[in-house]
Amino acid sequence: MDEQESWPVLMARAQAGDQTAYNQLLHALVPVIRALARKKIYDDALTEDVVQEALITVHHVRHTYDPTRPFMPWLAAIVRARAVDALRKNGRHLRWEVQDDEADAAVASHEPAAEQEEVLEHALHQLPLRQREMVEMVHLRELSLAEAALQHNLSVSAVKSLLHRALLNLRRLGGKDRERS
């Protein structure tokens, strides 16, 4: 049996009170959690914080895992949530999703921070006003969704929707800029 295939069994045993199975599972999960966290976070210290927070969360919510369901999606959701929490806590950094060689070249050239800020400002100003306000409030000023909703007399769902549309528009706008280059 593959190690990952044994995780649902180990978790089921842990849920039944088997401390040895639980310790074995947690030990096996550490490198996987670390690898998942590194996909979202590039800072080693912050990655280790996410590993610890994810392990604590696994401990607290282990009763919610259904051993008949795949384990990795359950674990990945926990790690993703802890990574987002860590990034929010330590300041937001917009990460552009780019899948071409130009992106690799830009990273390799270490584009100056002022130039990056200029590109971000230009992209934000192309968004509709409400979308731009939500991105600025939640991602740049680090307000919670609830705080942003309260300040604009919106529901949290409306704020989420505006943020989602803003990110879609930013991706679309980024694609147009690459096509022109």
User: Residue 130 in contact with residue 138, Cβ under 8 Å?
Assistant: no
Rounded to two decimals, what is the model's pTM? 0.50
Examine residue 72 and state whether it is found in any structural domain, yes or no: yes
Q: What pLDDT shows up at residue 134?
A: 86
Q: What pLDDT shows up at residue 110?
A: 45
Over residues 163-168, the mean pLDDT reads 87
Least confident of 4-8, 68-72, 83-87, 112-116: 112-116
List Cα–Cα distances, 108 to 83, 95, 103, 111, in angstroms: 25, 16, 9, 8
Q: Which domain holds residue 176?
A: 101-180
Examine residue 128 and state whether it is found in any structural domain, yes or no: yes
CATH of the domain at 152: 1.10.10.10
Distance CA 100, CA 82 (A): 28
User: Residue 29 in contact with residue 58, Cβ under 8 Å?
Assistant: yes
Domain count, the chain: 2
- Do 163 and 115 belong to one domain? yes
User: Residue 83 in contact with residue 57, Cβ under 8 Å?
Assistant: no
Examine residue 96 and state whether it is found in any structural domain, yes or no: no
Structure tokens at 176: 């147009």
Q: What pLDDT shows up at residue 97?
A: 42
Task: Tell which of 89, 110, 143 closes a domain.
Answer: 89
CATH of the domain at 61: 1.10.1740.10
For helices 44-61 and 71-89, what crossing angle results, to 10°?
Answer: 130
Kindly tell me if the per-residue pLDDT of 111 is higher than 60: no
Distance CA 7, CA 5 (A): 6
Structure tokens at 97: 């999703």
